[in-house]
């Protein structure tokens, strides 16, 4: 059986909870019947079989029904970020070769503006109606499409066939310890792999999904009554909950995070506040995830005297092979990965991640940054992520962003943007702190204190925004 057949077999006759969103509870039987109604609606649109259907969606039961319906009808949904500009959306719709855009009501004006630019037609989200039709036995090559975040260029569309989804949900469920007895909560957007991938994992194993369209402390506090056992957050959300004294309001089994590392100080505060929680971090990308993970045991080791583990993204996910291509004298090179649950492999059988890193003797992967992020400072190569990892070790630093900036003498140098903790720390002290851990040419020349770092909706740092901020102030 394929992934969608397995999901239908689990839910189609099931009256247990599948999704609990702001509109109320939805059972597995209701979700699959709503999905088949969505499939009928999509089939009636001017969309060729197999063609991606761009959609502006948030994470809720109707959106999940649409996505499952698209997979069933061979009209694979391609969720797009609703906060993109109309011009950005129009380019993505054109690249999808689509004549339609499906949208939730709150994004209709944005969708209409994009449609006018690219000659598409806007269709509203299908109403929550039911169909008794069965799941088609023959389906298309892709169940859905996602776009990369585009932090270094135009987003690329990645298809997800059922042959990838079946092993992917098995690996993800193993990594985060998710089963039918659990409930999974998330504030991650549907158009990112961290959002959609883990939601599909929960649905596939029979764990109810508790999503929100906007993360807030009040939503978090409500997860206790909703019975949430697992939750995906980014470190900035964890910091917010710690600052508001709310992290222990929900007795989670497992707290999952990604997109950015957790500092040793934050880890200490989390475990002091909720000592029984299992912390799991996931490193991956749209083309393939999970690639590497830090397990709950890894986090306990980090708290017990191995804070260096937090500088890594963990060890290879189950069933995945990792290697470093063309390593230099320090063992650093581009990270290659291969596994059945990855969506993209090059002709040589490996996913060329574009990330630069090294593997240690225990198999932990330490990233230096993206291949395109490399800064050449006076002839020396520097990866900003390495400097950021050093900075967040300082107790006075909650978060750090580092970027290469123009320099008349050296060609490029480094600018550091610091989100300070409650304890004030001078830039000279931070420079000395970095120098004690890294070579002198890796110490930033420019320093800025900021209230927050520019992040995309997946919680990833937007380095171009840091460069713009430096240029405005220099």
Residue 458: what pLDDT?
65
Residue 410: what pLDDT?
83
With tokens 């991956």, the residue in question is: 284
Coil vs helix vs strand at 253: coil
Integer Cα distance of 238 and 226 in angstroms = 19
Angle at 251 between CA 249 and CA 252, to 5 degrees: 120
Q: Are strands 230-233 and 184-186 parallel, antiparallel or unpaired?
A: parallel
Domains and CATH numbers, the chain: 3-169 (3.40.50.980), 215-372 (3.40.50.12780), 374-473 (3.30.300.30)
209-211, strands of its sheet edge to edge: 24-27, 17-21, 209-211, 184-186, 230-233, 254-258, 278-285, 288-294, 315-316
Integer Cα distance of 176 and 198 in angstroms = 9
Tokens of 290: 């999970």
Integer Cα distance of 109 and 103 in angstroms = 10
Q: Are strands 365-370 and 351-359 parallel, antiparallel or unpaired?
A: antiparallel
pLDDT < 50: residue spans in the chain: 152
Q: How far is CA 73 from CA 70, 137, 252, 327, in A?
A: 5, 10, 37, 45
Integer Cα distance of 52 and 142 in angstroms = 9
Are 277 and 270 in contact by the 8 Å Cβ rule? The answer is: yes
Residue 131: what pLDDT?
97
Residue 414: what pLDDT?
95
Beta pairing partners, 151: none
Sign of the torsion angle spanned by Cα atoms 158, 161, 165, 168: negative
How many CA atoms does the CB half-sphere of 74 hold within 13 Å? 9
DSSP letter assigned to residue 179: -
Integer Cα distance of 224 and 27 in angstroms = 20
Coil vs helix vs strand at 389: helix
Residue 438: what pLDDT?
87
Residue 153: what pLDDT?
53
CA end-to-end distance (rounded Å), the chain: 60
CA-based nearest residue to 85, from 102, 110, 67, 107: 110
SS3 content of the chain, % helix, strand, coil (to 5): 35, 25, 40
Residue 150: what pLDDT?
56
Tokens of 390: 């050093």
Residue 104: what pLDDT?
97
Burial class (CB within 10 angstroms; exposed 0-12, middle 13-18, buried 19+) of 427: middle
């Amino acid at each position: 059986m394929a992934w969608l057949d397995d999901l239908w077999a689990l839910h189609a006759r099931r009256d247990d909870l599948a999704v609990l969103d702001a509109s109320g509870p939805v059972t597995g039987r209701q979700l699959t019947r709503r999905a088949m109604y969505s499939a009928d609606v999509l089939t009636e649109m001017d969309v060729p079989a197999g063609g991606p259907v761009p959609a502006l969606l948030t994470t809720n039961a109707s959106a999940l029904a649409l996505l499952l319906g698209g997979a069933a009808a061979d009209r694979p949904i391609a969720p797009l970020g609703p906060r993109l500009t109309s011009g950005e959306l129009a380019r993505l719709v054109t690249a999808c070769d689509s004549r339609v855009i499906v949208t939730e009501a709150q994004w209709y004006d944005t969708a209409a503006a994009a449609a006018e630019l690219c000659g598409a037609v806007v269709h509203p989200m299908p109403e929550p109606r039911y169909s008794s039709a069965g799941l088609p036995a023959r389906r298309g090559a892709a169940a859905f499409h996602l776009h990369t975040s585009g932090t270094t260029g135009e987003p690329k569309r990645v298809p997800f066939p059922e042959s990838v989804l079946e092993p992917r949900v098995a690996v993800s469920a193993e990594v985060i310890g998710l089963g039918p007895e659990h409930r999974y909560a998330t504030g991650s957007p549907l158009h990112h792999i961290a959002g959609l991938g883990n939601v599909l994992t929960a649905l596939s194993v029979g764990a109810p999904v508790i999503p929100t369209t906007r993360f807030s402390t009040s939503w978090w506090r409500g997860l206790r009554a909703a019975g949430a056992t697992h939750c995906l957050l980014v470190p900035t959300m964890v910091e917010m909950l710690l600052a508001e004294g709310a992290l222990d309001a929900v007795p989670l089994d497992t707290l999952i995070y990604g997109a950015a590392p957790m500092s040793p100080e934050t880890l200490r505060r989390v475990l002091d506040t909720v000592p029984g929680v299992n912390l799991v971090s996931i490193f991956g990308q749209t083309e393939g995830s999970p690639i590497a993970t830090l397990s709950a045991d890894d986090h306990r080791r980090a708290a017990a005297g191995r804070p260096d583990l937090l500088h890594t993204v963990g060890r290879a996910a189950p069933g995945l092979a990792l290697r470093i291509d063309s390593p230099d004298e320090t063992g650093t090179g581009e990270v290659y990965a291969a596994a059945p649950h990855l969506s993209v492999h090059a002709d040589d059988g490996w996913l060329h991640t574009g990330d630069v890193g090294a593997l240690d003797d225990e198999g932990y992967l330490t990233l230096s940054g993206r291949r395109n992020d490399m800064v050449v400072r006076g002839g020396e190569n520097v990866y900003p992520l390495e400097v950021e990892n050093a900075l967040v070790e300082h107790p006075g630093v909650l978060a750090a962003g580092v970027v290469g900036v123009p320099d008349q003498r050296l060609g490029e140098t480094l600018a550091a943007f610091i989100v300070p903790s409650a304890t004030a720390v001078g830039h000279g002290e931070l420079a000395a702190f970095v120098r004690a851990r890294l070579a002198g040419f890796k110490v930033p020349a420019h320093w800025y204190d900021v209230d927050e770092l520019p992040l995309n909706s997946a919680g990833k740092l937007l380095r171009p925004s840091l460069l713009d901020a430096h240029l405005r102030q220099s």
